[in-house]
Amino acid sequence: MPKVMRQIVLNALSEDIGTGDISSSLLDDVLVTGKIICRQKAVISGIDYAALCFYELDPSIAIQWQVEEGGVSEPGQTLCLLKGRSRAMISAERTALNFLQTLSATATQTRHLSNLIAHTKTKLLDTRKTLPNLRHAQKQAVNSGGGVNHRMGLYDCVMLKENHITAIGSLESAITRALEAFPDKPVIVEIETLGQLDQALAIGGMTRILCDNFDPSVLAEAVRKTNGKYPLEASGNIDESNIQEYAETGVDYISIGSITKHIRAIDLSLQFD
């Protein structure tokens, strides 16, 4: 179990339980059985996070999952069967469901958009526009939905955006400084015009070029100009209404923040037998 996963779960449980669950303390702490039911079609993600919520409060609880991470659930389907102590199960319920419904929402939207562009070579990327403290969890959910992870944070990739380039002074200076300072890190350069693309191609050395807010016709020209020399990423004002048009330009990646921030929780419930 990754250390970061346990820390995320412990923080979530602490946020909810605080000094103790006073409502569940009223219960006789007996062995009970229950199940989590999904009430809509969804790509399920967050199984490990949800399970850990229960294990942290009742290490002896038995959980039998009826669906795998990244599997599709139909309306009314049982996701898992639970057998454990009543107080722990109720105390963990909301936090476990919060993980499942949120991460499944990310995976479901990712799968939906990925399916729309499955006939192209374009891969769907996530962004850093994740819910606070759920970066690792949501990026796992993107993988479960068929997407690809962008950089995890500010530490594992140099990404030169408009403000970086302006502050440094020029595109050439920014790229040169990045390559010299971090030779072992990926370097992604954001451009806003075909003129900047020409500059970037002339300088060279990048890992990927991000075309920000290009319309499809201009993006197609960028693909032609680049001619496979560097992978191209498209971002900005792309959603399910136009993602196919963007993908059909031949761009390598499309990054969309909505798969982690504009999501609607999946309808789940835990029921005692």
Tokens of 249: 């330009």
Catalytic residue among 94, 128, 135, 185: 94
Q: Is 190 known to be catalytic?
A: yes
Q: Is 267 a catalytic residue?
A: no
Pick the catalytic residue: 21, 56, 190, 233? 190
87 is catalytic: no
Q: Out of 6, 83, 128, 129, pick the active-site residue.
A: 129
Q: Catalytic: which of 6, 35, 135, 161? A: 161
Q: What are phi and psi of 202, to 5 degrees?
A: -70, -35
- 212 annotated active-site: yes
**Is 161 a known active-site residue?**
yes
Q: Which is catalytic among the residues 48, 212, 221, 248?
A: 212
Q: Which of 114, 112, 105 is nearest to 134 (CA)?
A: 105
β-bridge pairing 62-65 and 187-191: unpaired
Residues classed as catalytic = 94, 129, 161, 190, 212
